[in-house]
Amino acid sequence: MEQEIKSEFIENNFSLEDEDEILNKCVAFCINYKLSPSDLVSSWVVYYLNMQLDGSKVQNAHVDGFLHHLQNKQKHNILKEESNVHMYSSNDVNMLLGEEHKDGEEGMLDTPIKQSYFDNLNDLSTPISMDRSPERNGKSISEKSSRRTSSQATPFGQRTNKFLLQLSFNSHSKADDTKDLEIDALGDDVIRRVQDIESCSLQVQGSWPKPGFRFMYDKVEDRFNALENRIRRLSSALVASGECGEPSDATLASQKTLFSVGMVCCDGEGRLNDKSILFQGSVEHSGGQRVRLDLKNLVQFSLFPGQVIGIEGHNPSGHCFIASKLVDSFPLIGSSDLDLPPAKKQATDQNGEPATKASRELSIVIAAGPLSTTDNLLFEPLTELLAYARRKQPQLLILMGPFVDTEHPKIKKGTIDESFAEVFQEEILNKLHDYCAHMGPAARIVLVPSTRDAHNDFVFPQPPFEIYPSTDPDQQITCLANPGVLISNEITIGCCTADVLKQLSGEEVSRMSTDALSIDRIGRLVSHVIKQRCFYPVYPPSVGLPLDFSIAPEALHMASIPDLLLMPSDLAPFIKALPFGEGSDTEKYSRCLCINPGRLAKGVSGGTFVELSYLNNPDQTSASIIRI
């Protein structure tokens, strides 16, 4: 084929600059786009004339632009053919299943059916749109959804190991195993009819800030107040719990043992270490002054910039506070169930009434972006995830950003022909609408944005997406702020897409005791967020995070410890159950299930997601990390 392509170029008075490399690319173009050598060169002539290129030599620098020309041409041909696509009705489905038609039904359309069609029906990645799909504005959802597919084989599409179990948390119960077997058996049918799923309640808690708010107006005063209020709030919680007395000024010289509450700071711009730790007290007790902190007497500690701690010790010189005890966990104050035993906490709902067993059960599929591989914007991982969800039928599907990723090569280069909002609507929302129509009215989806979303405000905390009722009349898609909290079936779920774990990993300085048998560093990083009662406790924030201090105190504060804490990160995926109060016998069963589902797409290959079945508490909950 290379000689044929070369001959066609010569016949059209073109020469090749880097002959071997250009011919190899042209052969790939012919195979991927099903072109003959003459058709390929004819397309090159059109591209050559349209771009008004100089000279008759085909240069390697022009080949990438020629590829883009071929892709646009193929896209145009696909969209042109879509008007003739046949939408299968229930009669067609019955015909394929071999069922007889009842009198009065409309006649079958005379559409030829190939054997390959039957072979593809069992493919998990090819969901069938059932006749239960509602019509909107005279068109079905599947007609409105984007069908921009490519005949070119992608690395993601050619992967062999699909839906592999990476990690399992708790063993499945027999009921779960039976349900999985039933679902697997249903997947072998020619067309699997959708079973009704049990609906779940959904209530957004303090989804703030609201869409359309003004940002980038924070002042130095806002930053000061945000840090000061955080120190005061945690100090008041510690005093109210009775664990310590009234805090004093740690900067004053004294031989007596003092207790103070303040924030960890670094004495320079570099990474924090045990020699550069400063302690900044509150304005109320020390005027906001700082003092060097000496931790030589502590057997173990774990600190990071911005962490609020309580320290006990003395300051003999007035320039260095020698700590003998450190408190980094603060109790919750103001919760109505603090005095209840753990069993009672789990057995009561928000109204104080005994919660039924069903009210604390929830099946969830959790995934975090990017949702498309870096070699294209076909969103193949998202399509595969929705196909998996169609099969497993979870009550709740939680998708966290980025959705339209600013780090995607095509977004960075600006080579797409649509706005970011149009990509989000056509490639993501339309697919989610199809999923809801297929699953029925009980299906629920939660969307959480990311600061890497090109179509949303670049600020943290971040407002939720705006989805107008006309595009989601059944209101099956709920948009959450970042960070945000929601309650589903009496289960509190906290979400934050800022990669705080990755920054904590780079900023933390720690010392562990020599007799420690095992060190769970990931668990320690996650526990910082829970202990600080803050979704993003690091200060100063990461360079790429646009933290707005004028809204941060209300939006970042963790009013209560959630049952599930979702923290997507570039670190390794994990599922961990962490206790609320370390070393407290009365709270040994009060645990938070912390999850990092990983990224759904990693480069040109697939990533991971989480399937979870929550039952009453983390001890009875089963979860799995699955590779897409």
- CATH number, domain with residue 597: 3.60.21.60
Q: Please, what sign has the CA dihedral across residues 532, 533, 536, 539? A: negative
Q: How many domains does the chain have?
A: 3
**Looking at the domain assignment, is residue 597 inside a domain?**
yes
Q: What is the pLDDT of residues 185-244, one digit of tens each?
A: 444 443 444 467 788 999 998 757 776 778 888 888 888 888 999 999 888 888 887 777
**Looking at the domain assignment, is residue 135 inside a domain?**
no
pLDDT, position 453: 95
User: Do 170 and 74 share a structural domain?
Assistant: no
Q: What is the pLDDT of residues 352-364, one digit of tens each?
A: 344 444 468 999 9
Report the candidate in 352, 353, 355, 360 with the shortest Cα–Cα distance to residue 335: 352
**Looking at the domain assignment, is residue 103 inside a domain?**
no
Cβ(420)–Cβ(404) below 8 Å? yes
**Cα gap 361→369, rounded to integer Å:** 26
pLDDT, position 547: 92
User: Do 484 and 602 share a structural domain?
Assistant: yes
Q: Which two tokens stand for residue 19?
A: 């002959």
pLDDT, position 47: 84
Write the burial class of residue 592 (CB in 10 Å: 0-12 exposed, 13-18 middle, 19+ buried).
buried
- Which of 22, 49, 83 marks a domain boundary? 83
Predicted model pTM: 0.71
Tell me the β-bridge partners of 97: none
**Looking at the domain assignment, is residue 491 inside a domain?**
yes
- Which of 52, 83, 114 marks a domain boundary? 83
User: Do 270 and 318 share a structural domain?
Assistant: yes
Cβ(132)–Cβ(141) below 8 Å? no
Q: What is the DSSP letter of 587?
A: G
User: Do 557 and 623 share a structural domain?
Assistant: yes
Q: How many CA atoms lie within 13 Å of 416's alpha carbon, on the beta-carbon side?
A: 21
**Looking at the domain assignment, is residue 51 inside a domain?**
yes
**Looking at the domain assignment, is residue 440 inside a domain?**
yes
Q: Which two tokens stand for residue 194?
A: 């959708």
Q: Which two tokens stand for residue 521?
A: 């560093």
Report the candidate in 13, 18, 23 with the shortest Cα–Cα distance to residue 56: 13
pLDDT, position 487: 94
User: Do 290 and 390 share a structural domain?
Assistant: no
**Averaged in consecutive runs of 10 residues, what is the pLDDT profile of the chain (628 residues)?**
86 84 88 87 84 81 84 76 52 51 42 43 43 42 42 80 90 48 42 65 80 81 90 88 83 89 89 90 89 91 93 91 90 45 38 48 95 93 95 96 94 89 93 92 94 93 83 82 93 95 92 68 91 92 89 83 94 90 48 94 94 91 94
User: Do 550 and 470 share a structural domain?
Assistant: yes
pLDDT, position 359: 63
| Beta-carbon contacts of residue 472 (< 8 Å; ≥ 6 apart) | 429, 433
User: Do 365 and 307 share a structural domain?
Assistant: no
Q: Which two tokens stand for residue 137?
A: 């504005």
Phi, then psi, of 352 in degrees rounded to 5 = 85, 0
**Looking at the domain assignment, is residue 116 inside a domain?**
no
Q: What is the DSSP letter of 540?
A: S
> Which residue stretches of 82-173 are H helix?
90-97, 115-121, 141-144
pLDDT, position 353: 41
Tell me the C-alpha to C-alpha distance, in Å, between residue 563 and each of 4, 163, 520, 572, 595: 65, 26, 21, 21, 11
Cβ(387)–Cβ(124) below 8 Å? yes
544 residue type, one letter? G
User: Do 289 and 366 share a structural domain?
Assistant: no
Tell me the C-alpha to C-alpha distance, in Å, between residue 18 and each of 10, 54, 210, 379, 469: 14, 17, 56, 34, 55
Residue numbers of the domain that contains 620: 164-187+355-498+545-627
**Looking at the domain assignment, is residue 361 inside a domain?**
yes
pLDDT, position 45: 84
pLDDT, position 449: 96
